[in-house]
Structure 1
Amino acid sequence: MIQGYPPEFFEGLRKTARRSAERVVPLVLELVSPSSVVDVGCGVGSWLAVFRERGVRTILGIDGEYVDRGRLEIPHECFRARDVTRPLDVVERFDLVVTLEVAEHLPPEAADAFVGSVTELGPVVLFSAAVPGQGGFRHLNEQWPPYWVERFEQRGFIPIDALRDELWETTEVEWWYAQNVLFFCRRDQLDRHAALKQRWLMTDRRRLSVVHPKLYTEKCRLLSELSDPRNLSLRASLRALPGQTARALRDGIRRLRGMTP
């Protein structure tokens, strides 16, 4: 079971998700044209609200009991509380399944079951998950895309890099979506989505694992701060970190200084 999240987590998510969704959803609709969408790990439903505003008739949001119903951006009857680390017990099927920046919050032992759950809900999945070192609140399983590709392919779904080129430099979309978002489509359904199939033909699987410049720049800034002798409090914090994490950060500091281990 996923632990609860504080209200400020969902408030921050609402602001960033809504703005990004308003840019991304029209692109998704051009490629898939769904009449029904389910969002697994929907938070307060910001992405679903935008799909609904754009004419999608049937929506369903799934997330934990910890979601404050008073903050929902979708009708209460369009939300179901579920433990997403377990089988979801949802009988409906949908044209599009959305799950964005959710999988990294689940323990590694839940990864296979989670992919199984989302692929049972529909033939096309819009998916993103944090990469190693991305960082975030309660990230338990940051992985490069091939980790997830393997699990989707075991269920007959193929990866399609359809959006990242268009989103990469836009300021309207948060960098983590631009960096991580991929489609997965059930292979036997690909011919039903001509535009998506065209993007599949253009997908270079050797370049699925990428790091956005904004993430790289932020990590460099943090390492630079840690290497500054004036930041004694940061050094104290470093000493308080678990051994493996502290060693990794110290190695980064040495590299920044041009030192050898």
Structure 2
Amino acid sequence: MSGGPDTTRYDAGFYADQVEGSARAAAVVLPLVCGPLRPTRVLDVGCGQGAWLAEAARLGATQLTGLDGPWVDTAALRSPRIAFHPTDLAAPLPDHGRHDLVISVEVAEHLPAARADGFVADLCRAGDVVLFSAAVPHQGGTEHVNEERTSRWAARFDAHGFDAFDVVRGAVWDDVRVAWWYRQNAVVYVARSSAHHATFSALPQPVPRDLVHPEAFEAKVSWLEADRARLAAQIARPTLRQAIGALRRALWRALGGGAR
């Protein structure tokens, strides 16, 4: 996900801002994936309050598993059917079995770069179909520590026998119900050995791999403009020493000092 200048940890305010946007995005994006897949077992790695899992349940999933840090308030989960497991995502993930669909959206950028290869390996072990979205370089956001190009993530999945299918981004590119970071970054990865590979191969693939959404560009420019305005104001504001000096010169002139 994205936002303004980096802040700290994922508190209640972070999730309050994030969960409604996630719910809106899930309602648009998941039917594109679940339609051809019809998953019953869904795992969300970095689930937050479970907005994506709740939407998966609405689409027919019956086994919902969510992994995220211990700071998640389980009383605020979006569905009582979610089996939530507090998990350190920066460490190898515990085995929770195989799933029809694995979701991890705007999570990987929050993990150390050294964790990237292992994180993708964990996702691939958990299921044959992965809906994955991660921040691209310079996207910005809360505690983003590893922003990488989509093509770099695709190469990692490829190393585990998964192909990238761009069935989401082209379909939602102009859909304002979906936050721009999902429109920019969401890709489906499917194991080449999976029966679902042929299904996703038949779907349109209209966009190149590495993309920057215009709204991402506009947001970044807005942040830079705001920073520039603050800096300009600081430069224009006289320092205390300058102000005292100007006052002394004015008094000196008023008292006739320096008259020739």
Please classify the TM superposition score into its range, dividing by the shorter chain length: 0.7 to 0.9
Q: Over residues 8-49 of structure 1, what are the superposed CA-to-partner deviations in whole Å (9 max), with x where a residue is unaligned?
A: 111111111011111112121113221211000000101101
Q: Which residue of 2 aligns with 1:211?
A: 212
Distance 1:163 1:64 in 2: 27
105, 118, 132: which is aligned to 1:113?
Answer: 118
Distance 2:41 2:80 in 1: 15
> Please, what TM-score do these two structures have when normalized by structure 2?
0.82
| 1:53 partnered with 2:49 | no
- Give the AA of the match of 2:196: R
Which of these two proteins has the greater Rg computed from alpha carbons? Answer: 2
Q: Would you say how many aligned residue pairs link Structure 1 and Structure 2?
A: 230
> Please, what TM-score do these two structures have when normalized by structure 1?
0.82
Partner-residue secondary structure (3-state), 1:126: strand
Q: Which residue of 1 aligns with 2:163?
A: 158
Distance 1:6 1:57 in 2: 29
Q: Which residue of 2 aligns with 1:39?
A: 44
Q: 1:230 to 1:202 in 2, by over 3 A?
A: closer
Distance 1:211 1:151 in 2: 20
| 1:222 partnered with 2:226 | no
- Give the AA of the match of 2:176: T
Q: Which residue of 1 aligns with 2:242?
A: none
Q: Over residues 127-173 of structure 1, what are the superposed CA-to-partner deviations in whole Å (9 max), with x where a residue is unaligned?
A: 00000111000000000012111211111111111111110001111
Q: Over residues 166-224 of structure 1, what are the superposed CA-to-partner deviations in whole Å (9 max), with x where a residue is unaligned?
A: 100011111110100001111111x435431213x7366xx211111111112222333
| 1:124 partnered with 2:129 | yes
CA RMSD of aligned residues (A): 2.2
| 1:197 partnered with 2:188 | no
Considering fraction of residues, name the structure with more helix: 1
Distance 1:140 1:212 in 2: 21
Q: 1:215 to 1:69 in 2, by over 3 A?
A: same
Q: 1:36 to 1:133 in 2, by over 3 A?
A: same
Distance 1:235 1:9 in 2: 34
Distance 1:152 1:46 in 2: 25
Q: Please give the residue correspondences for 1:77-96 in structure 2 after superposition, counting only pairs within 5 Å.
A: 78-96=83-101
Q: Which residue of 2 aligns with 1:254?
A: none
Displacement of 1:110 after TM fit?
Answer: 0.8
Asked if 1 retains the 8 angstrom alpha-carbon contact of 2:190 and 2:196, the reply is no
Q: 1:213 to 1:36 in 2, by over 3 A?
A: same
The answer to which structure, 1 or 2, has the higher relative contact order (CA under 8 A, 6+ apart) is: 2
Partner-residue secondary structure (3-state), 1:79: strand
| Structure 1: unaligned runs, 5 residues or longer | 237-261
Distance 2:236 2:116 in 1: 35
More off after superposition, 217-226 vs 90-99: 217-226
185, 188, 193: which is aligned to 2:190?
Answer: 185
Asked if 2 retains the 8 angstrom alpha-carbon contact of 1:159 and 1:182, the reply is yes
